[in-house]
Structure formats: structure tokens, C-alpha cells
Copies of this chain bind each other. A is one copy, B any other.
């Protein structure tokens, strides 16, 4: 009945003994979380089925409750995992070291690429919004994490203005909303958009063109006009 690689039990695979310990709580937890990410992303919070998750897991439904307490607890754990990543990566860009224009360019491209590659992330944000973000608000570390982007952008804008490159009437929050919109929508709404116009806005063939367009639109928007 069970699919996937069993995390435990006697085997004869020749894998070193640490890897086939009878009980590996960390791996079990991780395994549940990964399967749950797929299911919640694909089906939504209400649409996801605990049984469906358990079935694709190496373990049983009971363990899911053992580790995460409830369906909602598991969903929150998934959100936490998925949301943590983007902010971490953003900070790895070291945008502070670049000049304002190329810093912004880099940030936009990163944001574009991140959404383009992490469709599960995009779907989960979507799903959270259907639930009025009530689960994500409960994650303690959530707000802290996000503050960082705004600071990055504020810094970028200040430096750009100082260097005479950028307009001085732009709000960091607004600018991030714009970037986010342009990167998010083409992935999040690709299905209805695709259905409406017969073309998938997130199709790989369009990626380079849209990436350039988004960067272009943002840079034109911030550019100081003489």
C-alpha cells in the first residue's frame, strides 16, 4: 500500500547504518512536511486531505498528529518552512554592496526568478490569502523576517536618490508592492490568464521576455526624469 522510500525497518540496501536506523524522527518529520507541502499547495487548506498526505508518507497518519498536532498545525509548519526561504535568500544577495540601480536590478531579477521557480510557494501564499492570512499571522518569526526587504529597498531608494539616479517621491512599501505584483501575478494566476487568453503567462518561452520587461518597468518607474 505504501509508496515512497520507507524510512525505517530492516532492509538490505547496503546503506550505512545511520541512514537506516529503525527510528529517525527528524527524517520522519521532514518527510511528512515535504509531502504536506505538495498536498496543501495542490489542494488548498480545505481541499487537502490528511489521509492523502499520510498515504504518500513513509509513516502513518498517527505520526502526523504526533509531530504536528492537527491538520492546521501541519499547514502552519508548511507555511513557515516555505516562507522562511525567500527572505533568507534575499539577504544572501548582499544588495547593499551594489550601487542603487544595479542593486534594484538584482533584487527584481531575484524576486522574478524566485517566484518563477517556486510555484508551491506562490500557491501557498494564494491559499493563505483565501484564508485571510490568519494562519501566517500566528507564526511568530514571520513579521521580523519580512522587515528586512523593506529596509533593503529603503536603503536602495535613498542611495539612488542621493546619486541622482532615482526620483525622490517613491515609497519603499509601494515599490515592493509593485515588484511583488509583477513577479507574483504571472505565476499565481497563470491558469485563469491562460484560459482567458489562450497563452500561459508563466510559460518558459516567455520567461526571459517578461523578466526583462519587469526589470525595465521598475527601472523606468524609479528613474529620475530631467
Judged by DSSP, the binding face of A is helix
**Chain A, 128-156, CB within 8 A of any chain B CB:** 128-134, 136-137, 142-143, 146-147, 150
Q: Is A195 an interface residue (CB 8 A)?
A: yes
Contact B184–A177 (Cβ < 8 Å): no
| CA distance in complex: A26, B146 (Å) | 49
Contact A185–B181 (Cβ < 8 Å): yes
Work out how many copies of this chain go into the complex: 4
Return chain B residues, CB-CB under 8 Å to A177: 185-186, 193, 201, 210
Return chain B residues, CB-CB under 8 Å to A173: 197, 199, 201
- If the complex has contacts A194-B133, A196-B146, are A185 and B186 also in contact, measured as CB distance less than 8 A? no
Contact B182–A178 (Cβ < 8 Å): yes
Contact A123–B128 (Cβ < 8 Å): no
- If the complex has contacts A182-B182, A186-B181, A191-B133, are A174 and B209 also in contact, measured as CB distance less than 8 A? yes
Return chain B residues, CB-CB under 8 Å to A199: 173
User: How close is A84's CB to chain B, nearest CB, in angstroms?
Assistant: 12
| CA distance in complex: A50, B224 (Å) | 55
A116-130 vs B, Cβ < 8 Å mask (1 yes, 0 no):
000000010111111
A203-216 vs B, Cβ < 8 Å mask (1 yes, 0 no):
00010011001001
Q: Is A198 an interface residue (CB 8 A)?
A: yes
Q: Is A65 an interface residue (CB 8 A)?
A: no
20 other A-B residue contacts (CB within 8 Å) besides A126-B126, A178-B213: A43-B46, A45-B47, A46-B47, A126-B129, A127-B130, A128-B191, A129-B191, A131-B191, A133-B195, A136-B192, A136-B196, A142-B195, A143-B196, A177-B185, A177-B201, A178-B217, A180-B189, A181-B185, A185-B185, A221-B221
Q: Which residues of A contact B (CB under 8 A)?
A: 43-47, 123, 125-134, 136-137, 142-143, 146-147, 150, 171, 173-174, 176-178, 180-182, 184-186, 188-199, 201, 206, 209-210, 213, 216-217, 220-221, 223
Query: What are 16 A-B contacts with C-beta separation under 8 Å?
Result: A44-B130, A125-B192, A126-B130, A129-B190, A132-B191, A133-B191, A143-B198, A173-B197, A178-B217, A181-B186, A184-B189, A188-B188, A216-B221, A217-B220, A220-B220, A221-B221
